[in-house]
């Protein structure tokens, strides 16, 4: 579930999670617009995908 889905569902947005959910949305959108909808659907919400996004963001912060 994305940051924006949480806002729509009424959950209070956590600003610290906003970069993560923005990156998740961008990656999934990029995959879908380039013909990889099946891969995007399989990745969305998986622990491995979430861990990869978190690792990417953490590495970006360390630079």
15 or 34, greater pLDDT: 34
With bands split at pLDDT 50, 70 and 90, how would you rate the model's confidence at 17? Answer: confident
Over the chain, what is the mean pLDDT?
Answer: 80
How many percent of the chain have pLDDT more than 70?
73
- Residue with tokens 């999670």, as numbered in its chain: 17
Domain count, the chain: 1
What residues have CB less than 8 Å from 2, skipping those under 6 apart?
21, 24, 25
Domain hosting residue 19, numbered range = 3-62
Q: What's the per-residue H, E or C state across 20-58?
A: HHHHHHHHHHHHHHCCCHHHHHHHCCCHHHHHHHHHHHH
């Amino acid at each position: 579930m994305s940051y924006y889905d949480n806002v729509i569902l009424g959950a209070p947005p956590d600003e610290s999670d906003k970069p993560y959910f923005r990156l998740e949305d961008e990656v999934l959108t990029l995959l879908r617009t380039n013909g990889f909808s099946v891969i995007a659907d399989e990745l969305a919400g998986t622990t491995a995908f979430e861990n990869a996004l978190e690792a990417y963001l953490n590495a970006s912060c360390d630079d």
